[in-house]
């Protein structure tokens, strides 16, 4: 697997975790995975060097682990001890478990609060995530070399799109509630499927007693896919 192929696999996951509320810029997350693994995937899906630590289970880690040799720097000395690393069902679980670590421990507050990828890389080192004294500079070199900042922009656009969609749904919900209160009539046959889908999606609470405009709007929303069918 080439470096480019590795990045193509992990970048979408890093972007998704960021959009879901993760603290790391995708560029930093991707660079960290490249640095920690040498750009190679592994079967236990731990690409960030996350050790077992206190062993507390999380929603993303069920206790499985693998023992591997690692590379550490202690008081200027390079050592290669064996350590236990968390094993995951997926790369996404790995990154989300790492995010929980950052949110849980006060020592990583500076990582979360970092305003730029470069600052965040520096804070990862300053907060003791790794023992390598050159950890931050190595991350930044990878970010620049592989132009990983484009994935930060991708995540920003996705977050903004999600915010706009949430606002649109809230606006539509208010419009539906307003129309529903205007008049009372039985559900027209042509609107029945749409109304039932709206109830399942919790867009409306009481399907009966709406107006013609209300049922027409619900039907349009359903046909355009804004009211999803139940899975």
Residues annotated as part of the active site: 72, 97
- Please answer whether residues 97 and 56 qualify as being in contact, where contact means their C-beta atoms are separated by less than 8 angstroms: no
Tokens of 47: 């690409």
Q: Give the separation between CA 44 and CA 47, rounded to whole angstroms.
A: 9
């Amino acid at each position: 697997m080439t470096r480019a192929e590795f990045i193509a696999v992990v970048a979408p996951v890093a972007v998704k975790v960021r959009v879901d509320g993760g603290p790391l810029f995708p560029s930093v997350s991707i660079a960290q995975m490249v640095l920690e693994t040498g750009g190679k995937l592994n079967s236990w899906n731990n690409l960030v060097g996350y050790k077992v630590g206190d062993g507390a289970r999380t929603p993303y880690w069920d206790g499985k682990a693998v023992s591997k040799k690692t590379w550490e720097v202690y008081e200027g000395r390079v050592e290669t001890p064996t350590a236990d690393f968390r094993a995951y069902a997926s790369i996404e679980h790995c990154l989300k478990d790492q995010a929980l670590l950052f949110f849980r421990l006060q020592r990583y507050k500076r990582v979360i609060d970092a305003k730029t990828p470069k600052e965040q890389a520096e804070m990862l080192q300053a907060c003791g995530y790794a023992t390598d004294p050159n950890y931050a500079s190595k991350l930044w070199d990878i970010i620049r070399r592989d132009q990983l900042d484009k994935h930060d922009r991708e995540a920003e656009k996705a977050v903004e799109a999600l915010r706009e969609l949430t606002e649109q749904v809230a606006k539509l919900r208010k419009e539906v509630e307003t129309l529903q209160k205007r008049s009372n009539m039985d559900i027209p046959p042509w609107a029945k499927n749409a109304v039932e889908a709206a109830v399942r999606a919790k867009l409306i609470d009481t399907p009966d007693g709406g107006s013609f405009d209300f049922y027409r709007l619900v039907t349009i929303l359903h046909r355009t896919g804004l009211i999803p069918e139940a899975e």
